[in-house]
Amino acid sequence: MQRSLFRAGACLALALVIGAACGGDGGGGGNEDSLTLTPRPRDINGQGQSTTLTVVAESADGTAGTGEVTLTAPAGLLGNGTKEEVLTLEDGEATTTFTCAKSFDPKCAGAVRITAEWKGVSVTSTVNVSATDGGTNPGDGGTDGGTDGGTDGGTDGGPPTQFGDLNVTLSTGKSLLIANTGDQTPVSVTVTNKTTSAPVPGKQISFTTNRGSFAPAEGTTSITATTNTSGTASVPLYAANMGPGTAEITATLAEGSLKTSLTFTAISTVSYITDKTTKALIGIESSGRDTTTPLYFKITDAAQKPVPGVELSFTVSGAAEANATDKAVTNAEGIASTTLRAGNTVGVAIVKATVSATIGSSRELSVSHPGTPIVGGKPSDRGLVVDCVRKNLGALHATPPPRSLNTNCTAALSDRFGNPVGLATTVQWYPEAGKINSPVDSKPQTGSAPSADTGVATTIFSTSGTFPPYAVTPMTGELHVGADLDDPQGRNARDMAVTVIAVVGGEEDFYDGSGTNGILNGKWDPGEWFVDLGEPLVDRNDNGKWDPGEFFIDTERIDCANPSAPATKNGVWDGPNGCWDSNTQIWRPIHIVYTGPLSLDTANHLWLPASPPYAVGVNQTVPIRFNWSDDYFNRMSSDGAGLVVKKSGSRGSVNIQSDANAFAYGGFEIAYESREATTQADGSLLLGEICNSGKPTPPGSGSSPVKTRCVRHNRFSFPEKGGNSGTINLVGATTSGSAMQSIIDLQANHTFSSSPVIQFQAVFQ
């Protein structure tokens, strides 16, 4: 109940002060569950700046909320790289980030309403996305902090002093000077008419000081100046490398004198300090993901007390194109902040903070922060590589099948420049059969440089789920047996192939500088070749389009013929849309085949040269080529499998050499290609040659949707003979003797199941 009492007390105090009623922000009140969603900062730019979203949930009994909160955003990207993210509450709270880059999402402009839902409670909060990259409000969790050197708290002299019909003020541009440096500030007198407030020019003002100098070197303690047409006379006061203390400044004119004081402060330490709002790493500018981070620096004196009002200047090194807010002034706690912004080059950006007054002096006061890695942030279709350790699993070695087997599968994520994606990114996996762990996050970069597994999402596929895979119609050239009483559907090599897809939020591939009049500028331009993706599809019959019963993801897609229209789902599967999509679901398939023992149906699954018995002469070697497949024309899985040959009789010998087998699956092979495709009048695609980014794009490719572009295509090929293959060498006797007929046994050994044997005859001379 402490949380509720605290909130009620705070609400009462606020009501007493401002006479306002307190209540929720749509999250419920009284004895109801409550939910709040707060962005910090609330105002971000549309060029990659991110905000932190904090969700706080409280149950009706006052205890911290538990369970999951679902966040949705109509534009931009949440922390998982999509528009919807599920967060798990810890102690009633959860946080994520939100980024809205207009270069990737045209809807990133103005007010973006983000919704949070928890246990039937729904609240919304607005993030304001601007077109510029202006600073944010430090009081609202912003990151720019401080101000420029002209507003660091100089003295304004208070209300004007009246001398007859004149109003006179004395002020300094800074509230302090840094002792033992060449720091300086303007000292100004402004004279106006008391009645009309008009400036009074031509008044001679004498300035004196007991500390510092009106020249860069020590010794000039007095100076004279005349008010200008604005009624102001201004002179510079230098610290002149003098020690700490207080300067008493006097300004005298014919009508009287004014005084003010200025502190000379000694700085002992400039240090970098950590804060929970500072990100460990940020994404490159084009990623639109966590492309900025605040950095904080603190100034203290010899007594370790904070020094306010000191200007720091910031420079960036180590990562090309990265930059930071150039100046900031320490606040009451002696802290100044800057915003580090990524460019489009990876590296470790190091921000150096220097006390501006010491720049160029022999005693420059500065410190560098440890460095922030700038990493690949947005997955590109070009850099998406999906694979499984074993793509042939002996799942049919069981009665009934499947035999329970696992294999690791990976999705390696890279950005458009080939950099591993260093930010943790969620990958979804969908199998046709079996089961797979999903979703999984890619491994983030943890140091100053990516490791071998940075950007890799690893999951486990298991055969113990849905079985069997979908039975398909054989393709042209594919080995198959027709339907019979024992097998009413017939069999072919792809019947036991399982399609698995990996899906992640990202951008379509493009070829920078390609096409007609292409420009090499690191981004896609109209007229350049690109790879157009359809919506994610588990294409279980391998025909490249959706068929009833197949799983697909209905994505929000922008109509590039009408880009100002909101992105919508339409409830049906859509193929490639003729547009380069910067924010979409990119995906790749991989195929796993289930295999079993080599078949004893030798009429359909064993290939030997005709007319045994084979005659083997003295000192002669007769090679016998063979192919032997399982019941689906595929080869045995490699784990624990082997082929052994032996013979009866004492004359001659026999040995076997197994082929590496160019067809890894045995009965089929797959080439994952990118091909030209042209939209036909009926909306279908006519496939052309392998995509060649070096050729001009067809006329009309400068405006979307385009008719001809590249698409992903899975090309299947089939051998004339399937399964395992090799050579049995029949080696003749070395001396003459009586001919002897032998039985040759070819045995398939496998740790999973019994070992079938086939036999044929040979005569050794």
Give the whole-angstrom CA distance, residue 50 versus residue 48. 6
Q: Could you read off the pLDDT of 402-460 as tens digits, one per residue?
A: 999 999 999 999 999 999 999 999 999 999 999 999 999 999 999 899 999 999 999 99
Inside any domain, residue 464 = yes
Q: For residues 190 and 52, state if they share a domain.
A: no
The DSSP letter of residue 599 is: P
3-state secondary structure 182-244: CCEEEEEEEEEECCCCCECCCCEEEEEECCCECCCCCCCCEEEEECCCCCEEEEEEECCCCCC
Inside any domain, residue 697 = no
Inside any domain, residue 67 = yes
Give the whole-angstrom CA distance, residue 165 versus residue 110. 52
Provide, rounded to the nearest whole percent, the portion of the chain with pLDDT above 70: 90
Task: Return the pLDDT at 639.
Answer: 79
Q: For residues 245 and 281, state if they share a domain.
A: no
Q: Under a CB-based contact definition with an 8 Å cutoff, are residues 571 and 367 in contact?
A: no
Q: Which two tokens stand for residue 13?
A: 């105090």
Q: Could you read off the pLDDT of 469-526 as tens digits, one per residue?
A: 999 999 999 999 987 666 667 899 999 999 999 999 999 999 999 987 778 998 999 9
The DSSP letter of residue 584 is: E
Give the whole-angstrom CA distance, residue 72 versus residue 615. 76
Task: Return the pLDDT at 157.
Answer: 57
Q: For residues 407 and 426, state if they share a domain.
A: yes
Inside any domain, residue 325 = yes
Task: Return the pLDDT at 48.
Answer: 63
Exposure of 303 in the CB half-sphere (CA atoms within 13 A)? 4
Task: Return the pLDDT at 104.
Answer: 61
Give the whole-angstrom CA distance, residue 687 versus residue 117. 45
What is the secondary structure of 258-324 as a DSSP string? EEEEEEEE---EEEEE--TTS-S-EE-GGG-SS-EEEEEEEEE-TTS-B--S-EEEEEEESSTT-EE
Q: For residues 240 and 359, state if they share a domain.
A: no
Task: Return the pLDDT at 566.
Answer: 81
Exposure of 198 in the CB half-sphere (CA atoms within 13 A)? 5
Q: Could you read off the pLDDT of 253-286 as tens digits, one per residue?
A: 999 999 999 989 889 899 999 999 999 999 999 8
Our measurement of the distance from residue 131's CA atom to the centroid of its chain's CA atoms, rounded to an integer in Å, reads 22
Nearest to 676 by CA among 708, 703, 702: 708
CA dihedral 8, 9, 12, 17 (to 10 degrees): -140
| Amino acid at position 583, single letter | N
Q: Could you read off the pLDDT of 746-758 as tens digits, one per residue?
A: 999 887 777 889 9
Nearest to 1 by CA among 63, 91, 65: 63
Q: For residues 42 and 84, state if they share a domain.
A: yes
pLDDT for residue 29 is more than 90: no
pLDDT for residue 339 is more than 90: yes
Count of positions (residues) in the chain: 765
Inside any domain, residue 253 = yes
Q: For residues 237 and 363, state if they share a domain.
A: no
Task: Return the pLDDT at 488.
Answer: 66
Task: Return the pLDDT at 516.
Answer: 79
Kindly report which listed range (22-31, 122-131, 306-315, 536-545) carries the lowest average pLDDT score.
22-31
Q: Under a CB-based contact definition with an 8 Å cutoff, are residues 588 and 506 in contact?
A: no
pLDDT for residue 2 is more than 50: no
Give the whole-angstrom CA distance, residue 505 versus residue 147. 38
Could you tell me the pTM of the whole model?
0.71
Task: Return the pLDDT at 136.
Answer: 34
3-state secondary structure of 350: strand
Count of structural domains within the chain: 5
Q: For residues 622 and 590, state if they share a domain.
A: no
pLDDT for residue 35 is more than 50: yes
CA-CA distances (angstroms) from residue 323 to 285, 293, 320, 361, 374?
11, 11, 9, 24, 12
Range of the domain at 84: 34-130
Q: Under a CB-based contact definition with an 8 Å cutoff, are residues 10 and 64 in contact?
A: no
Inside any domain, residue 478 = yes
Question: What's the chain's average pLDDT?
Answer: 88
Q: Could you read off the pLDDT of 569-599 as tens digits, one per residue?
A: 889 999 999 999 998 999 999 999 999 999 9
Nearest to 326 by CA among 191, 146, 166, 459: 146
Q: Under a CB-based contact definition with an 8 Å cutoff, are residues 338 and 351 in contact?
A: yes
Give the whole-angstrom CA distance, residue 426 versus residue 241. 57
3-state secondary structure of 145: coil
Q: For residues 113 and 182, state if they share a domain.
A: no
Give the whole-angstrom CA distance, residue 509 versus residue 585. 12
Q: Under a CB-based contact definition with an 8 Å cutoff, are residues 329 and 153 in contact?
A: yes
Q: For residues 740 and 755, state if they share a domain.
A: yes
Task: Return the pLDDT at 31.
Answer: 63
- Domain endpoint, select from 356, 375, 394: 375
pLDDT for residue 6 is more than 70: no
Task: Return the pLDDT at 422.
Answer: 95
Give the whole-angstrom CA distance, residue 686 versus residue 678. 5
- Domain endpoint, select from 265, 293, 314: 265
CA-CA distances (angstroms) from residue 4 to 7, 15, 57, 407, 716?
5, 16, 12, 50, 64
Q: For residues 78 and 193, state if they share a domain.
A: no
Average pLDDT over residues 121-130: 90
pLDDT for residue 654 is more than 60: yes
- Domain endpoint, select from 346, 375, 404: 375
β-pair partners for 708:
678
Task: Return the pLDDT at 144.
Answer: 37
Kindly report which listed range (41-50, 468-477, 725-734) carries the lowest average pLDDT score.
41-50
Q: Under a CB-based contact definition with an 8 Å cutoff, are residues 371 and 448 in contact?
A: yes
3-state secondary structure 170-190: EEECECEEECCCCCEEEEEEE
Task: Return the pLDDT at 82.
Answer: 74
What is the secondary structure of 99-136 as a DSSP string? E--TTT-TT-SEEEEEEEEETTEEEEEEEEEESS----
**Pairing of β 161-163 and β 93-99:** unpaired
Inside any domain, residue 348 = yes
Q: Could you read off the pLDDT of 526-581 as tens digits, one per residue?
A: 999 999 999 999 999 999 999 999 999 999 887 777 877 787 888 999 999 999 99
Q: For residues 278 and 253, state if they share a domain.
A: no
Q: For residues 245 and 367, state if they share a domain.
A: no
Residue 638 pLDDT level (bands cut at 50, 70, 90)? confident
Q: Which two tokens stand for residue 644?
A: 């052994």
3-state secondary structure of 444: coil
Inside any domain, residue 14 = no
Find the CATH number of the domain harbouring 385.
2.60.40.10
